[in-house]
Amino acid sequence: MCSAELCVLRDLFADKLEYDNDFNNVLVPAIRECTSEMGYTEDDLDTARKNQQLDDCMFICVFHKMGLMKDDKMDLDETYALTEKFFKPDTDKEDIRKVSVDCYKVSDAKSENDKKCCDRARLIFDCLKDNIM
């Protein structure tokens, strides 16, 4: 089961995804691995769900596992590959690519001082959420 925000990530693309279960097969294992690696308990996840707020470092972990981020930056090539794999053929992929580039620029510009770059994943998530409808 995904946290509230990661469910939002999944649901954000639900109408554009060709194979929702395939996306879940990438997202859910990433969440499970990160939950274990970060020492989250079920209580922590329940609290995150109730508050609809997830630790920014959980986002960066999940995005790394999914391949959306590499070296603490958005990986545009992998983002494009995931777009090709999971989005319906009639989805305007060029629009999604433009949003991806815009979100990359936003996250890159705003997190220059964060050594751990956890906020970068939050910026990417917020940008995608705000720009992909």
pTM of the model: 0.74
CATH of the domain at 21: 1.10.238.20
For the chain, the domain total comes to 1
Q: What is the pLDDT of residues 71-130, one digit of tens each?
A: 878 888 888 887 777 777 777 778 878 888 888 888 776 665 555 678 888 888 888 778
Per-residue model confidence as pLDDT tens digits over 47-72: 877 777 778 888 889 889 988 888 87
Q: Are the CB atoms for 7 and 62 separated by under 8 Å? A: no
Strands (E), 45-115: 69-70, 73-74
**Which domain, by its residues, includes 20?**
4-132
What's phi and psi for 87, nearest 5 deg? -90, 145
